[in-house]
Structure formats: C-alpha cells, structure tokens
Structure 1
C-alpha cells in the first residue's frame, strides 16, 4: 500500500554561521529573529523571507528606484574583483583586523559589502572569524550569501537601521560605501573596531582627463571625520596605492563602479575608452581609516 509523503514543507535554508544568525535582529522592532519553515520571524509577529540563494531579505518599506547595484552592475563588479585588481584592499583590511582585534572568533559585518569580495578575503586570512555582508541590492546579496562558508548575507538599508543586535559585532567594515555612524556605533561592541576605506585624491588619476571623470573631493578626509564625529575616535590611517594594468573592458568596469558612471553615457564612455592604449596603467589609491567607538 502506498503511503503519502508526510515530510513537512520547508522553505529555503538560511546560509550563514550560527554566530552570525544569532546576531540578527528584526528590522521592524529589534526583537531577536528565529528561523521557521517560512524564513525568519520575531516574537513581535514580523516575518521575513529567506531567498533560495540563502540570504535573508530584511529590507523594510519601499526601496527608491535605482537604489543598489543592478544584476549587470554586480556581474561587472564581480568580474573586476575576481581578476584581483582590488585584492590589496581586502588584504590590508585583514592585516588591520589581525592587529586590532583581541577576540579569538570575531563577528565581522561589511556594510554596503556588495558581492562579499572583501569579507571573503578577510575570512580567508582570519580562520576563527565569521561574517555578514549587508547590502541593499538583492543581486549582490545573492552572490555574497555563497561567497564563503563562514559568511552570510542580508539585504538591508543602513539608513533605516541595521538588522543586528546592539553590541553584536566585533568589527564593522565599510569599503567605498555610505556610512551611518550612529548605526555602526550601536552594533559594535565597546572594544570593537571600525575600518573605513575611501578613495584618495589620486585614485584613478590617469583616467580623469581622457574620460572626463569627476574629481575626488579634496575635503573627503575632513568630511569623513565630520560624519563620524561624536561616535568614533580615530586610531590611524594608511595609504594604499597599486598600479593596475587594465584592459579596455576593465577600464569601463572600474568607471562604472564609481560615481562618474552617473555622469557619462555608456556609448560616450565606450568611445573614450577605445581611444586609450591597451592595456592602460591606472593607479588605485585609497586610504584605510581605523576607528574605535567612543564610550
């Protein structure tokens, strides 16, 4: 006699370490989130989906059009990153964390972390660490959720509040991404560390004139300090500079990854890039800032 299948239906599985999942909090009310057969839920009655790729969808409210990277932007960014052009940034982050953190098994959060590339470099270098990538783009979160076995991903908007418990993170990473100082301070432990990477004045300098790129704000460091004032104390800053040999396709991608992409039409950019020698030598120049939370 045939028997009916009585196996209960379960939804997609959340792909992240237990230490990271335990740090999650409901973005609507702040209560702890627990897994159920539909995704994640809190005791306040709020529930959230887990995508089949394994990331948790913790965005609340309507997301403005154009917010976050598109599927095509994520693909370009991933190809550029996987070519190793910005590996020096991830390696510098790992070195700084190894120096600054005392916790043997730290929980790391990369806010605006995109594809999870930098977090992956860090987790590879710190075997005891676990991490979370938070990004507003679902296309980025899809990739980040599967980027590392000790990492996970959520879609979230830092300006509306990070879906994390207070004091749950040992370190927050912020690479070429917007910053919400109050939220960073809230989720960090009192002895935690904030690492911020911003473009230096000569970043991509060789491309500015021939491609008509925007200049880097000379007051960028001053504006960074102002944005974190009252929440964080500076520990130090490190200049990182690497010469990249880029094919035309990579030049288009690195421009598309920055703010100049909004000011140059795709056809115009392609024509200007075609006039450059190939490969073209470009300077990647950034500053890594280290901060501690103010008590």
Structure 2
C-alpha cells in the first residue's frame, strides 16, 4: 500500500527515539532491533511521541483555518521561491519539513520534485490533517519533538523551517555535509494591516531571529518575498482567527471591517551550519 511504501523508501533515515537504533519497516510498523515499535496509522503517519500536549491555539479547527488560507494561494509566492531554489539542488535528495503544520509546503513540493520528503509537527491534529490531504502518500508524515527527532545523523540534505521554531543543535546533527537550511521568517511588513489594529504590535523587527540564525549558520542567501492581496471579508476573518498576532487580543474589540487587503511578507534565509558549530554540535550531541 502507498501509505507504507513511502516509509519503506525512507526507512534507512529513521532512528528509534527511545534507543537511537536504526529502524526498518515490518508490515505496518517501524521497528528497531530492540523491538521498539511505532505503528503507521491508517491515515498514513507515525506518532513517535508517547504523549502529546494540547494547545488551544493549535487544535484541529485552527489547522483547518490555516489550510483554507494556504489553499487560497496567499502564500504561493513563498512556495514558488522555495521551489526555484530546490531546482538548483538536484543532488539534495532528502528533505525534512520542520513543524510543518497541516503540511501545505511538503504536499506541493512533493508533487514537483523527485525527492524524499519527510514532515513532522508536535501536534497530532496537524499531522492527521496533513496525511488526510495527501492522497498520493508521497510524504512520510510523523508526530515528533523538535528537541529529539527520530532520524539518523547526517541523513537530511535540506531542512525547511517555514514560519516555525528552530533547533540549530538538532539541525546540525541531522544535516549531511552539504546540507542546507531554508528558513522563512516574517518580514516587518508581514500582516502589517493587522498590526495597525494592535498598538503593541505595530513595531516589529526580525533582527533577533536573523542574528540567532547567523550565530549558527553561514548565511548564503537572503530573499525578501512580499505581496499585498485584496481579500474578501470571510478570508480576512479566517486569517484573523489563525494568526498568532491575535491569540491574546480581545477579539470583541477588533474592528476588521476596515481591513480589505493583507500583506504576506517573509524573508527566506538559506544557510549552512557553520564549521565551528558543526564541531561544537558533534561534541555536545555525542555526550
């Protein structure tokens, strides 16, 4: 079955999260030599976490809203730039989508590229939705923890980290010698129309995130991607319900009627873990 074959194709990349031993596909499960077993769900994903913590801001309803916005194409300009850069990397075969949410980017890219795509999130709801929306079963979806991923050292060629947290120590462990990080961070103009409704959020800078990236990585390329969209009121409302900007705002006092367009703006940072960081990371990861 297709949902098993994608894990069969990529079984050599997995490492047991309990004992770090290599894993292989055994019928409908990933199993290590110590018989730690993780079943592949009928929807086509693996849950490597023994227990998951819920978050009211990141439940199934919130991911469904994100799915609607992404499907409407508002983030396609970011997808297109990532796709262009991946075309320049024919030898980079193994791609990991970090904190992938409902999996939009991996699903789209897996249709275009003959590469092995893996994608994970801490949220089981998001991975369940991602797997359901991937009938081709060409992405290995799993629930995992960014602090300790069930993957072997030097197994990944490209890490996609799109509007998501980063763990550069873990990235350094996973990336191959020629591996790259594609990190997308919000630009200062991202959702500026919403920020104007929140006095405390009007001033935004991504400088801290950029500096953190450059502490661990050599910055090879930096691309600004921005587009302002005219938007129907129902999409404005859906955007407002999904964005972290409004997680702690009093939504009853927000007047969205004045918002008729939204700017989606990000910066793509392409980098490689610095040589001095690779040595430091190796020492720390090996104990």
> What's the TM-score, normalizing by structure 2?
0.85
Q: Are the counterparts in 1 of residues 2 and 137 from structure 2 also a CA contact under 8 Å?
A: no
Q: Which of 179, 182, 191 is residue 178 of structure 2 equivalent to?
A: 191
Which has the larger share of helix?
2
Residues 228-259 of structure 1: per-residue CA shift (max 9 Å, x gap): 524x2110100001111222222233233332
Determine helix, strand or coil for the equivalent of 2:152. coil
1:223 matched to which residue of 2? 209
Q: Which runs of 5+ in 1 are unaligned?
A: 1-10
Determine helix, strand or coil for the equivalent of 1:207. helix
1:139 matched to which residue of 2? 125
Q: Are the counterparts in 1 of residues 70 and 104 from structure 2 also a CA contact under 8 Å?
A: yes
Cα distance 1:66–1:15, how it changes in 2: closer, same or farther (>3 A)? farther
CA distance in 1, matches of 2:121, 2:266: 21
Shift in Å at residue 102 of structure 1?
4.2
CA distance in 2, matches of 1:238, 1:17: 33
Aligned residues: 273
Cα distance 1:200–1:294, how it changes in 2: closer, same or farther (>3 A)? same
Residue 84 in 1 paired to residue 73 in 2? yes
Shift in Å at residue 227 of structure 1?
4.8
- 1:88-237 equivalence runs, <5 A: 88-99=77-88, 101-103=89-91, 106-126=93-113, 128-145=114-131, 146-147=133-134, 148-159=136-147, 161-210=148-197, 214-215=201-202, 217-218=204-205, 220-227=206-213, 229-230=215-216, 232-237=217-222
Cα distance 1:12–1:18, how it changes in 2: closer, same or farther (>3 A)? closer
Q: Which runs of 5+ in 2 are unaligned?
A: 276-287
CA distance in 2, matches of 1:67, 1:187: 31
1:7 matched to which residue of 2? none
Shift in Å at residue 191 of structure 1?
0.2
Where has structure 1 moved over 6 Å in runs of 4 or more? none
Once superposed, what is the RMSD of the aligned Cα atoms? Answer: 2.5
1:5 matched to which residue of 2? none
Shift in Å at residue 20 of structure 1?
2.7
Q: Which has the larger radius of gyration?
A: 1
